[in-house]
Amino acid sequence: METEELTINNTRQAFYQASLNNNNGGLRTLINTLNLSRVSFSFSPFGETPLHIAAVLGNLELCEILLSKEPSLATEVDSEHGRCPLHLASAEGHTKIVKALVMENSDTCLIQDKDGNLPLHLAASLKS
């Protein structure tokens, strides 16, 4: 049991570091070699997934890779603000990622964060 826990923790750390560093090749390797359904994707202290990080950093390629392997990541909300990846991409003005996320699951447009904001509210609050 401890060995499996250690492996899962190492996997989470590897995903987290590769996501933060925009290491698409490393993430692709991790995704292709692991059974992702066995790994909890929430790995940051704030409950973010690799898709949250890719969305906020504007990494469209990584978003597409993750969505193709695990579409349910589009609906995951973080524990700090209750935001899904669409909230984050909208807040940062990453329109191509917004489009990819909405195409994957349009219901994410209706997810309210802890403050009651929809992704549209965050997009509308962008300063030009």
User: What sign for the dihedral angle of Cα 36, 37, 43, 46?
Assistant: positive
Per-residue confidence band for 21, with pLDDT thresholds at 50, 70 and 90: confident
5: tokens are 């826990």
Structural domain of residue 7, as residue ranges?
A: 2-124
pLDDT attached to residue 1: 45
pLDDT, tens digit (0-9, with 9 covering 90-100), for 51-81: 898 999 999 998 998 898 889 999 999 988 9
Q: Domain containing 27 — which CATH number?
A: 1.25.40.20
User: Which single residue is written with the structure tokens 């973080």?
Assistant: 78
For the ranges 2-16, 21-35, 56-70, 105-119, the one whose mean pLDDT is highest: 105-119
Strands (E), the chain: none
Average of pLDDT values for 95-121? Answer: 97
First to last CA, the chain: 52
Question: Is residue 14 over pLDDT 90?
Answer: no
pLDDT attached to residue 119: 97
Give me the number of domains the chain comprises. Answer: 1
